[in-house]
Chains A and B, each alone.
Chain A
């Protein structure tokens, strides 16, 4: 059992208009095997939370703590955080031309596990994982995310999730740009990882549709860089009906329906 604790996390970003505070004291605790949905209107800071946890250099931490089993993630580089058991499935995975998926995946797994997996078990594990995600075997020879369709990119993210076996995964808008079939395949992959490794999940999403495939235990509403309300799965149903209006400034309106 592991615990991811976010305590009073504050972070800002440099903009043309100067430094802008985005996270205003986030508090959240996720246990292994739990799925938390972070839902909120556009611009509420959901993605900033995801990237700040993963250690993106663009975001500056101004206060607070993030602990995995007591270890402070905020003192670690991005690769050290991955080794500590954190994984971020990105909304827009980055293309790395000339680096093959196989080479990349093997390098990553070797780094996270601390030793290279034996060729035989590795090849088998990779091809089986790809098969389950309905990925063409030729995929492994292509450059990382280079020329991938939106759906292919998301499958590749989940492939990494399954191979790297983190303690906690942050899924940033994983449902965006997916058709119904791809959404189902990707969701199955996430559920499989959870079943196999007891993964704890923090699912960042604007819309409710992915929650039909990946069932949340806890739903948080995120607004103005804070968790403003926490509830059970029924909170998502309410958001679907009412939208985010009551969390938005006067006059604005936004739906939680895809």
Chain B
């Protein structure tokens, strides 16, 4: 169906002369008579079905499209990006983890939704296969998928994380190095599974990362989805999620720290298409320096067939200096009145001088005071990630950015990766010497510096 006929159809529906009467006992039960955004949105694997993004399009109004134009036309993927899978701690992958390659066209590749924009369609066009991480049973240790970029040639990558029925597992995807990557992560949380997926973006300067996550959460399942974006010139991630059965729960959490010249954009699109599901989206970001730009767009669409929906989305931005810009836009589309809740909140605030003065008047030096306030801003969220292995290292990474010391940033980021090797990641300088390739790579770079 083309756009024109869709519009004609909806126009016809609205013009319907006899509107169905609402049941006075249940006035909200009737489906809305407005065309929903889902009816209009293009979903297709075919690049040519998607228009070339411009800033005039709603989905790209905050995006500096000219800086990611290379991802708008089909390209040959370099295939150079290094991907490895290992346990977050210990030597062997725990029981219940299966790693395999899936050819394009074979399930489950391409089964979770369809590309929602041209960038995602270009990714689909560029890849031949996907890396599948299949999880079943109780997986004792989080699984680390390291994605390491080695150069700035265009590349595409397709990952699938599939938790079987009743599985309980955590997966961390860690992006490091230099890359220009168009990536898709398909996430399937099977019936009654409990799945945690964390995506860390710690790219080196000059990197670009676009694409998105397509997620489905099964009946009675609980998904925790964490996104931490700290590095990369441009990171633009679109996260589309819907439900495959009732009484499921989706918790999405995002943390970003934007520095001069960076554009970090996150778009969460939750579609409530099943009864009695819960969704929470909480993204927080700090911005520092001229030209630091973040964009967060949170969409929640509650369809007529999703009674009992409980949804909430929140975005808070802390501008640490002048010259930084945060765009924040929550959208709610509710087509069912019989819901538990649908809320949103969004704010962009300047660093509070009164807080700074209060702390300073107690003898705390300005730089420490700033760090305390930013800690306070992020701490609750960092704890909620639910991975103690990541939490303290992440705080150190944020601290280092706050201090603005390039070497400290590098060292702290290294720790965030390297601490994945062992239980203890305290102050062990050798921690980086064994383990992931990416850790080795980074430690070399640190030494050169």
Contacts and interface: CB of A to CB of B under 8 A. Distances in A.
Are A and B genuine complex partners? Answer: yes
B376 A164 contact: no
A82 B358 contact: no
Contact of A57 (B353, B377, B379): B353
B373 interface: yes
A94 B375 contact: no
B369 to A, nearest CB: 8
Contacts of A160: 362
Interface residues of A, number: 30
A96 B365 contact: no
B358 A108 contact: no
B361 to A, nearest CB: 5
A98 to B, nearest CB: 3
B8 interface: no
Contacts, number: 80
Contact of B357 (A56, A95, A97, A103): A56
Contact of A79 (B355, B360, B377): B360
B376 A97 contact: yes
A103 B372 contact: yes
B33 interface: no
A186 interface: no
Interface residues of B, number: 24
A108 B357 contact: no
Given A94-B355, A96-B355, A104-B359, A79 B365 contact: yes
A112 interface: yes
B69 interface: no
Given A81-B361, A95-B355, 16 more contacts: A54-B361, A77-B366, A78-B357, A78-B361, A79-B361, A79-B365, A79-B369, A82-B363, A96-B355, A96-B372, A97-B376, A98-B373, A99-B372, A99-B376, A108-B359, A112-B363
B361 A111 contact: no
Given A99-B373, A99-B376, A94 B364 contact: no
Contact of A111 (B355, B358, B368, B377): B368
B363 A90 contact: no
B16 interface: no
A104 B366 CA distance: 14
B354 interface: yes
Please name the 9 residue pairs, one residue from A and one from B, whose CB atoms are nearest each other, closest first.
A98-B376, A82-B363, A112-B363, A78-B360, A94-B358, A108-B362, A99-B376, A111-B363, A79-B360
A173 to B, nearest CB: 16
Contacts of A111: 362-365, 368
A83 interface: yes
A107 interface: yes
B180 to A, nearest CB: 36
A41 to B, nearest CB: 25
Contacts of B359: 96, 104, 108
Q: Quick one: which of B353, B358, B373 has the most chain A CB within 10 A?
A: B358
B376 A108 contact: no
A143 interface: yes
